[in-house]
């Protein structure tokens, strides 16, 4: 809205020609970022695709930590249902790693980030999905208070320590993985990355000029991640990781 508003204001000044050019660029930019090709191009430089493919890759990890990535809770007439949105690939990846390893604990993390009443936490939505996909309830540990990646580091650490988990597989999106790894390492933990798929929706040609929700969510995540990483660096929450590399 700010970008469009700036262009509209320019239309009523002596720089009206520049305003038209600006609005054209904004429109083209939003269109491109909402298409499969544009969003993939935007994501590639910042994504981390490290993945645990074999038990040897897990280096003896005894747990999987699944980080929240947002859900959408639909409510009407006292009923509610959760849409996993871009968190769905993370759940699928966590189940894949669970099946690869020897019945590891699966920590699911994420609070009521939608701010709905009554609360619907991401972690509870993930737990239901994990159960449907065959992960036993006694292997799932829920952390449903966190609102941010920093919260997840602080709240998951004592849960991991209390269960004597030293090495664990960290599951999140490719876009979020670099910041998440740095934050957990800065917190004194030793995560092993296994990134979820960049896309899991119905296959569409990457050259398709038609915008779709998954592509727009992906581009939004890239912009958000750039801002979040800058904020975390300014707070020193990624410091230990950068010093250790």
Give the per-residue pLDDT at 202: 61
pLDDT along the chain (245 residues), means of 10: 87 90 92 93 92 96 95 86 90 97 96 86 96 98 97 97 96 97 95 92 76 90 95 90 40
Give the per-residue pLDDT at 1: 83
Domain positions in the chain are 50-208
Please state whether the predicted TM-score (pTM) of the whole model is above 0.95: no
- Domain at 50-208: CATH code: 3.40.50.620
Give the per-residue pLDDT at 213: 85
Cis peptide before 43 (omega within 30 of 0): no
Give the residue among 221, 217, 181, 169 at the shortest CA–CA distance from 51.
169
Give the per-residue pLDDT at 4: 87
């Amino acid at each position: 809205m700010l970008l469009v508003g700036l262009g509209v204001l320019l239309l009523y000044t002596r720089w009206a020609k520049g305003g038209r050019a600006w609005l054209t660029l904004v429109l083209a930019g939003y269109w491109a970022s909402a298409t499969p090709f544009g969003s993939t191009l935007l994501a590639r430089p910042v994504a981390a695709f490290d993945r645990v493919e074999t038990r040897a890759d897990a280096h003896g990890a005894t747990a999987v930590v699944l980080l929240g990535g947002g859900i959408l809770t639909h409510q009407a007439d006292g009923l509610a249902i959760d849409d996993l949105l871009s968190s769905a690939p993370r759940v699928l990846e966590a189940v894949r790693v669970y099946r690869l390893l020897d019945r590891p604990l699966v920590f699911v993390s994420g609070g009521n980030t939608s701010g709905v009443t009554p609360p619907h936490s991401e972690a509870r939505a993930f737990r239901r999905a994990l159960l449907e996909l065959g992960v036993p309830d006694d292997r799932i540990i829920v952390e449903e208070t966190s609102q941010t990646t920093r919260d997840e580091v602080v709240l998951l650490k004592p849960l991991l320590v209390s269960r004597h988990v030293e090495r664990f597989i960290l599951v999140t999106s490719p876009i979020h993985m670099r910041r998440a790894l740095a934050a957990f390492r800065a917190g004194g933990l030793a995560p092993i990355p296994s990134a979820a798929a960049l896309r899991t929706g119905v296959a569409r040609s990457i050259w398709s000029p038609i915008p779709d929700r998954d592509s727009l969510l992906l581009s939004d995540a890239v912009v958000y991640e750039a801002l979040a990483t800058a904020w975390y660096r300014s707070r020193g929450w990624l410091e230990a990781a950068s010093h250790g590399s």
